């Protein structure tokens, strides 16, 4: 029910009320309401739920989440040398 998926903004219709735009989800395109993410620009990613963009994807944070695992891993290894039996 709260399913929301990332899509890429292809086009924004600045004249529309509420603000609408064309968003691509891995090739499938849909008209999406952008009224709640007024700062999102063409080419950027938004998270879409029931036809509404509810947030603009934060690219830096997205990369951080994936980077974190490496950092914890290295840190963890230092603290706790791997068990030779593993």
Partner 1 sequence: MKYIDEYRNGEIAGKYLELISRITTRPWRIMEICGGQTHNIMKSGLEELLPKNITLLHGPGCPVCVTPIEMIDKAIAIAARPEVIFTSFGDMLRVPGSQKDLLTVKASGGDVRIVYSPLDAVRIAVQNPNKNIVFFGVGFETTAPANAMAVWQAKKLGLKNFSILCSHVLVPPAIEALLESSLNSIQGFLAAGHVCTVMGYEEYIPIASRYKCPIVVTGFEPVDILQGIYMAVKQLEENRYEVENQYTRSVKKEGNLAAKKIITDVFEVVDRKWRGIGEIPHSGFKLRKDYIVYDAEKIYHSININVQESPLCIAGRVLQGINKPHECTAYGSLCTPEHPLGAPMVSSEGACAAYYRYRSISFKEQP
Residues that bind partner 1 (CB under 8 A): 1-6, 8, 18, 25-26, 30, 33, 35-38, 45, 47, 49-52, 54-55, 57-59, 61-62, 64-66, 68-69, 72-73, 76, 80
CB of 84 to partner 1, least distance (A): 15
CB of 18 to partner 1, least distance (A): 6
The span from the CA of 86 to the CA of 81, in Å, is: 11
């Amino acid at each position: 029910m709260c399913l929301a998926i990332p899509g890429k903004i292809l086009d924004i219709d600045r004249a529309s009320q509420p603000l609408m735009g064309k968003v691509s989800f891995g090739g499938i395109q849909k008209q999406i309401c952008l009224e709640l993410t007024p700062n999102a620009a063409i080419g950027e990613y938004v998270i879409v739920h029931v036809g509404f963009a509810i947030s603009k994807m934060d690219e830096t944070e997205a990369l951080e989440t994936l980077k974190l695992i490496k950092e914890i891993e290295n840190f963890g290894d230092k603290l706790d040398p791997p068990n030779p039996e593993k």
